[in-house]
Structure 1
């Protein structure tokens, strides 16, 4: 056994693997009992490289790369990375629950101040991610994890991507459909941080309604549900949308004051939602601008993290982010496109740098 294998075995022995709390095609997440030396509870994400057609794929590499580089109170922390046999193991800080579990727990009563707090923490983490030149591309309630002290932390960076080059072409098949903006549903391959802002807007409304805002069963149905709720886009409110690669005309829906369904959040909250869910990506606020919105400074002020409501039930296994590069069917329907699959040699090159 070579030195690297011995070192990885020694690192693996630091952790006691416990119950499964997340599962996906190429990875499982476990709540580790304790770190043997310190007694600290951690989560271990085991990436099953042996299940992958070409070995270690870019989804796994991206997750490791971004978690190694991004450090913020509202982003999950990577504590260690080691390999055992054909598996890559990510040791992450353990977080008690996620925002989806909070939303679904009908025994919990939300106040507007609670919704402000969760939204503000999401935006603070996202502002740092965008400032670091990264798109998350899979924001949804069960990728927003919650610590024992109530802090919200963004997780699952398998679909994340660096951005900044205006000419770069990216896949449109990212972001879970219910949280995916119309420009991606119509095939845009050149997009910005505005795609994550749309996701935040839909999550914000889900926190208010306690059910998903736009829950299409296919890409076409997602567009129809969006336009039925908010009205069809016009050239005036979204210049150039008819030129998107997969644009096809959908029978017009009248404009609706859809924000009236969230009157309980107050006028500032209604206006905040309208800003995030503008059809024109250029008109959506950046995360920094969204944090400066009057919604966060008006009364009631955001609830302190420790006082936020939390579910009492034990964690159940949750679905992990899908793999964007393999053409695999998604659980919610549709098929991924292989728009960004790098070569095997590039995989190996990046892997050598990450695990050297």
Structure 2
């Protein structure tokens, strides 16, 4: 046994799989524990043998970016080991996700609670963007919640770095209800603004307790968006009619956000509106959002430990949307029935590799390299 195999065997023995808590097309998730301490973890077993070309790119991305991102509002990857033809990711165990919180009608949200969840979302996202990483699949069930109430960004299978400008990226990312109109129009050059649009949709959903822009197809998604926010003009969004997949969708007047979000404060609506600006370059950044007056005005954000949370049953299957193995964007595992019915697979185009070498993608070291 060589040194690599020995090290892998030692890592494998460190972790014990207990109960299966979820299964998707390409992965099985177990509740597990650390053999020496009994600490609870989640172990995501990726079925490498399912892929014709070896290890799926989404698995590579997930490991790579989680190794690089260490932040209290990003899920922590504790270890990685192989077993037979499977790759196993050991992640911190998280109790639930924001979608389940939103859908639990027994819970009452205060404005301070929504402010707290949004602050943690923006903090995690700002850290990703500061490290030149786009998430590209932000939605409530990819925002996991720990036992202490901390919200953490999860599921980095569609993430990519954006340090190199001018490279094409796929527009087939982000679950449809949270996908910005520039991607629906086929834009292949984009940056952090795509994640900000998703956060805006999540912000609205927290206030409405139902998805804000639930389109049934890509075309219907555009119509749903324009009905809510008005059809963009060239003045609103210069050049959008020149995007590759642009089609006229119809003329809809802009409805003031105040008419739908009747209980929201002026600062709240101002921040929401800055997340949902059509022109991507004019959207607020995560860093700017954290400095927005909304987060400094009364009421102050709730402490994470005081946030409302579902009462977990004896055998929870809700946690870890990050780890339930769904590579279809609409999900097929527990706790994801409310997701949009688009069957987008995580097979990304060669353009989306951004011109970087495969060796760069396979570098799982702790630090980013120049």
What's the TM-score, normalizing by structure 2? 0.88
Q: What 5-or-longer segments of structure 1 have no aligned partner?
A: 325-329
Give the secondary structure class of the aligned counterpart of 1:184: helix
Answer yes or no: is the 8 Å Cα contact 1:218–1:334 preserved in 2.
no
- Bigger drift between 175-184 and 15-24 goes to 15-24
Alpha carbons of structure 1 residues 277 and 119: separation in structure 2 relative to 1, 3 Å: same
**Matches of 1:350 and 1:323, distance apart in 2:** 26
> Structure 1, residues 130-160: CA drift from partner, whole Å, max 9, x if none?
0000100000111111111100111111100
Answer yes or no: is the 8 Å Cα contact 1:82–1:90 preserved in 2.
yes
**Matches of 2:216 and 2:325, distance apart in 1:** 19
Q: Given the alignment, which residue of 361, 364, 369 partners 1:354?
A: 364
**Which 4+ stretches in 1 moved above 4 angstroms?**
317-321, 334-338, 349-353
Higher relative contact order (CA 8 A, sep 6+): 2
Answer yes or no: is the 8 Å Cα contact 1:138–1:321 preserved in 2.
no
Matches within 5 A, 1:298-337: 298-314=297-313, 315-316=316-317, 318=321, 320=325, 322=327, 332-335=341-344
Root mean square deviation, CA, Å: 2.2
What's the TM-score, normalizing by structure 1? 0.91
Match for residue 154 of structure 1?
153
Matches within 5 A, 1:173-252: 173-252=172-251
**Matches of 1:88 and 1:159, distance apart in 2:** 18
Give the secondary structure class of the aligned counterpart of 1:354: coil
* Cα offset, 1:353, TM superposition: 4.3
**Matches of 2:60 and 2:187, distance apart in 1:** 25
Give the secondary structure class of the aligned counterpart of 2:144: strand
> Structure 1, residues 70-121: CA drift from partner, whole Å, max 9, x if none?
1111111111110001111111111111101111111110000000000000
**Matches of 2:131 and 2:179, distance apart in 1:** 22
Q: What 5-or-longer segments of structure 2 have no aligned partner?
A: 330-338, 366-370
* Cα offset, 1:335, TM superposition: 4.6
Q: How many pairs are equivalent?
A: 346
- Bigger drift between 4-13 and 105-114 goes to 4-13
Give the secondary structure class of the aligned counterpart of 1:264: coil
Match for residue 282 of structure 2?
283
Alpha carbons of structure 1 residues 46 and 68: separation in structure 2 relative to 1, 3 Å: same
